[in-house]
Chains A and B, each alone.
Chain A
Amino acid sequence: MKHFVSGLAIAAALAAPAWAQDGETKVIGVSIPAATHGWAGGMNYFAQATVDRLEETYPQLDFVLATASDPAKQVNDIEDMVATRNIDALVVLPFESEPLTGPVQNVKASGAWITVVDRGLSQEGIEDLYVAGDNPGFGRVSGEFMASALPEGGKIVVLRGIPTTIDNERVEGFQAAIEGKNIEVLGMEHGDWNRDKSFTVMQDFLSKHPQIDAVWASDDDMAVGALGAIEAAGRDDIKFVLGGAGMKEMIKRTMDGDAMIPANVTYPPSMISTAIEITAVGLVSQAPVSGDFIIGSVLVTPENAENYYYPDSPF
């Protein structure tokens, strides 16, 4: 709530007309999807926190932060940023690749610096800086953990996200990592990164398969749903559930040594901070910052969980 209010205050302050800028001040536009699910909520939190921090650190920088609930709104946001604020740099996490490619290209043509976060545009070479998580790596790290946690092999079920390239890359990475490890995937269904959907899918997996050794929930929201279903069914054949993305409640349980959640695989929403920080450095200093910045997915275990626990973040 606090962030919402301060967000409003900043939005109001930033709504000051363009004449307020002099030659010294540079404006960075940040356009991200709204907090419609846990991961995006965390991303919004980190974006706001980073903007607050940087405005204090660099008086010569101004920020415009806009959150969009759909691609069309995001296109409007970006057009407004160019028209009314004359932004010098744009940090954008595209809602969808296709619809945002053209508008971002137009911003590029206006001479602004472009930082694209996480979801690439459908045309290469537009962005100056690309900051992203490693989806195939996310799947691979998860698969490697699965293989090491089930040394004798075993039967697992998989919950997938919303059908997207992100999800496909993760699953392919996972399958490549468990190949030849004697792990049988009994079934894969889409839980859509949603707790309720995953709860029902998991219930049905439990009805269908009398013996399941482990679950790759591939996301912490889905892991919460799957755990609820397993607990309700009272099944004790399932040794563990592997989620992902590093939700604070789940990291906490790993940290506390919960046997059902022995590990996590990061896909940090704070990558938006990386993108904004590097973009700001590029504007205020001589340091070259163009290129790709891929943030690796790390295996979180009870030993290192403390380093990945952010109690203040909503995610």
Chain B
Amino acid sequence: MSDAAVAASPRRLRMTVIGPILALVLLVIAGALMNPNFLGWDNVTNVLARSAFIGIIAVGMTFVITAGGLDLSVGSMAAFIAGLMILVMNSLIPSMGAGIPVILVGMAVALLAGLAAGLLNGILITRLGIEAFIVTLGSMGIYRSLVTWLADGGTLSLDFGLRSLYQPVYYGGIFGITWPIIVFAVVVVIGEIVMRSTAFGRYCAAIGSNEQVAKYSSVRVDRVRLMTYAALGLLVGIATIMYVPRLGSASSATGMLWELEAIAAVIIGGTVLKGGFGRVWGTVIGVLILTLIGNLLNLTDFVSPYLNGAIQGAIIVLAVVLQREGKART
């Protein structure tokens, strides 16, 4: 999988792998003990579907971070794309009628806008050589105020008829498994394969661990970097396609702090923040841990809701400590 992990002692390998899984298992056990409904089918599908937005984005974020980059704009990008999608679909109803074609156009708009936004970030970072942190901090502000502007400070709502037609994309599914979960799973499987067994995945890790060496090894550093941002943008588009049918609206509060949740999930999952090593399945564990904490806190009256943030923070740090602990000892 990774040279770093293979070269390490067995114990170190075990701890970095087991750490996040252990944290997840502990959370699940705690949840099952505290509330009998926790492992019920409804709750499990709720949690998985809820994880899908951040999860799909976090898979893309794993590649960006592995290649030594960062993207702070994904949350507001999602809000902007959601707003754009709703505006386009609403405006097409008079000419195309409220039917499937309008929804398909809406989806295409989301994918194209996502791809374009990702490419824009990537081009500014690679061609102009500006720090990813600064570029995406800037675009974060730009998309956030664009969606506020589009919504005139209020909320953009999808036409009611269209919304009921579109709703099955979030609530429907096959064999009781809803679409967001299926799409999330497909994205994860593709991400895992790309990260592990393609040249692209290895290039990302190479660039993240040492850009100069990668360059001398004839890796087209800028192009690979650009592609990670473009892919992330596309995945934000996909996440938005799943998000819009849920409540059929977008406002300036949409996607608030998604970027930090996605980054946190990636790091909890064992990807190194400064790049060089990434693990897609770990990211999935990270996303599930984050979502489960919120879910558990809602299902129990154990702690004052004022302390939710503190509990979340503590568990995030703990999950990372669990895996770093192993590294420190070797």
Seen from chain A, the residues whose Cβ lies within 8 Å of a Cβ on chain B are 1-4, 34-38, 40-42, 44-45, 160, 163, 187-190, 194-196, 199-201, 203-208, 221, 224-225, 228, 232-233, 249, 313-315
Known: A35-B148, A37-B251. A204 touches B154 (CB 8 A): no
Interface presence of B324 (CB below 8 A)? no
User: Do A314 and B149 touch (CB < 8 A)?
Assistant: no
Within the complex, what minimum Cβ distance (angstroms) separates B279 from chain A? 26
Interface presence of B3 (CB below 8 A)? no
Cα–Cα, bound, A171→B38 (Å): 28
Within the complex, what minimum Cβ distance (angstroms) separates A51 from chain B? 15
How many residue pairs link A and B with beta carbons under 8 A? The number is 101
Known: A1-B149, A204-B295, A207-B299. A190 touches B305 (CB 8 A): yes
Contacts of A38 on B, CB cut-off 8 Å?
154-155, 251
Seen from chain B, the residues whose Cβ lies within 8 Å of a Cβ on chain A are 35, 37-38, 40, 42-43, 46, 50, 148-155, 157, 171, 246-247, 249, 251-254, 256, 294-295, 298-299, 301, 305-306, 308
For the A-B complex with A4-B149, A204-B298, A224-B247 known, give 15 more contacts whose Cβ atoms are closer than 8 Å.
A1-B149, A2-B152, A35-B153, A37-B251, A38-B251, A160-B305, A195-B247, A195-B253, A196-B254, A203-B46, A204-B46, A207-B46, A228-B247, A314-B153, A314-B155
User: Do B153 and A40 touch (CB < 8 A)?
Assistant: yes
22 contacts between A and B (CB under 8 A): A35-B152, A36-B148, A41-B148, A44-B153, A45-B154, A189-B298, A194-B256, A196-B254, A200-B46, A204-B46, A204-B298, A206-B42, A207-B37, A207-B38, A207-B46, A221-B251, A224-B247, A232-B171, A249-B157, A314-B153, A314-B154, A315-B155
User: Do B294 and A200 touch (CB < 8 A)?
Assistant: yes
Contacts of B308 on A, CB cut-off 8 Å?
190
Known: A200-B298, A208-B299, A233-B42. A314 touches B152 (CB 8 A): yes
Within the complex, what minimum Cβ distance (angstroms) separates B240 from chain A? 13
Q: Residue on B with the closest CB to A204?
A: B298
Q: Residue on A with the closest CB to B250?
A: A195
Cα–Cα, bound, A83→B311 (Å): 46
Contacts of B152 on A, CB cut-off 8 Å?
1-4, 35, 41, 45, 314
Within the complex, what minimum Cβ distance (angstroms) separates B144 from chain A? 9
User: Do A208 and B298 touch (CB < 8 A)?
Assistant: yes
User: Do B43 and A207 touch (CB < 8 A)?
Assistant: yes
Cα–Cα, bound, A252→B139 (Å): 36
Within the complex, what minimum Cβ distance (angstroms) separates A21 from chain B? 30
Within the complex, what minimum Cβ distance (angstroms) separates A190 from chain B? 5
Contact for B247 among A204, A225, A313, CB less than 8 A:
A225
